[in-house]
Amino acid sequence: MHLLIEQLEINILTPGGDDLIHVENLARATGDINGLSPVDLDVLALAVGTGDYIATDDHRIQNVAESAGIPWIPVIGKGISEKWDWIRKCRGCGKTWPKMPDIISNECSDCGSEIRLARK
């Protein structure tokens, strides 16, 4: 049996450009941008545009959704209990970068140690 998409009543949506830019900016502000895929960002932007819920167990998506005021529900787990903001922090000297785009490499320019994500 061969079904067409029209027969299944599936709606294919793409996010609006303004909604996508809004979500990308929020993800940068929370520090989650590097852990989200383009599809994750599209889903978040669609939720902004439609006002629909997101059903996900991905904590980064939940974190950005919480920041954007997007309603979300967990699928299997209990979900996040609080919103987190992330910074980049050197494991050696402790230098921090509050904004993700402020650094290009994963090596500290001061001491050469690894730079990792840390909760604010």
Q: Which residues, in sequence order, are CB contacts of 3 under 8 Å at separation 6+?
A: none
* CATH no. for 14-73: 3.40.50.1010
> How would residue 100 be classed by pLDDT, with cut points 50, 70 and 90?
low
pLDDT for res 103: 52
Q: Does domain 86-119 have CATH number 2.20.28?
A: yes
* Whole-number Cα distances in Å, 52 to 7, 72, 105, 116: 23, 9, 37, 33
Tell me the per-residue pLDDT of 66-83, one tens digit each, with 9 for 90 and over: 988 999 999 987 777 777
Tell me: the pLDDT tens digits for 86-95? 778 888 898 8
Cα–Cα distance for residue pair 37/111, rounded to 1 Å:
31
Amino acid at 88: R
Q: Is-above-0.75 flag for pTM?
A: no
Residue-range domain boundaries for the chain: 14-73, 86-119
